[in-house]
Structure 1
């Protein structure tokens, strides 16, 4: 199965959505700590790791798109 390349705008929107999800994870972390609920805390940490990985993958995709153009995120 081939992966359809995203546009830059679509990638930026995906990053924005992931960052918006980070607000929810931060709330979940705070509530789990306040209630001393270890299972919910582990769930929040795993969710945060998934968000961080997703954002890193999207940033890498943007860097690859910008390689030819010398954009802000290129190496």
Structure 2
């Protein structure tokens, strides 16, 4: 089973909130500046589809999906 690892770029985020609306179990918005907050970096299987959809609808491209990073420094 493959896991989905999410990364966010808060500097790129414009605070549209599409991620939090699409996948509220995975994303939230910072109450101070409105930019994306990532709840779990690796969403559960039940939330992966919503997380992928949220990444796709993000107008600024601030959310990326990939494989979890392993080892290294």
Normalised by the length of structure 1, the TM-score is 0.30
Higher RCO structure (Cα 8 Å, ≥6 apart): 2
If each structure's helix is expressed as a fraction of its own residues, which one has the higher value? 1
TM-score by length of 2: 0.31
Q: Which has the higher strand share?
A: 2
Larger gyration radius, structure 1 or structure 2: 1
